[in-house]
Amino acid sequence: MKLLTHNMLTCNVKGVKNGYPLRIEAKEVANVEAEFNPIFVQNMLPKLNWKVLRGAALSLGVDAATLPEDLTDELKNDDACLKAIHHALVEVVVVEGALVCPESGRKFLISNGIPNMLLNEDEV
């Protein structure tokens, strides 16, 4: 699961009011090289929760110095910053682990890089 995906997932268990962001419990993390596309990264920035992305990246071992605490307009056009964001968004992959709901503690397993967000019958 890429951090781009993680940034947009939420817990939809019945009764959960605060199911975002899901906490990552990673058992296996991989770095998968992907072609850098600055336009893609710039177009994704308005859709992202920066604080959540940065926190998830740091929890998976991405160097804090590469991802600024605050993303200014100047940094949104800085090639080095865009490359660091690209790395965090699409090259860092959680292969095995779980996503944990911050409110209910419900775990959604990640297997072979795919998060299983299916709910049980009693959770709908």
Which value, to the nearest 10 degrees, does the dihedral of the CA atoms of residues 91, 45, 56, 52 take?
Answer: -170
Residue 88 CA to residue 117 CA, distance in Å, equals 22
The mean of the pLDDT values for the chain is 97
Which is nearest to 104 in space by CA: 15, 5, 28? 15
Q: Is the pTM of this model over 0.75?
A: yes
pLDDT for the residue numbered 79: 96
Question: What are 50-107's pLDDT values in tens digits?
Answer: 999 999 999 999 999 999 999 999 999 999 999 999 999 999 999 999 999 999 999 9
In the chain, what percentage of residues exceed pLDDT 70? 100
Residue 22 CA to residue 34 CA, distance in Å, equals 25
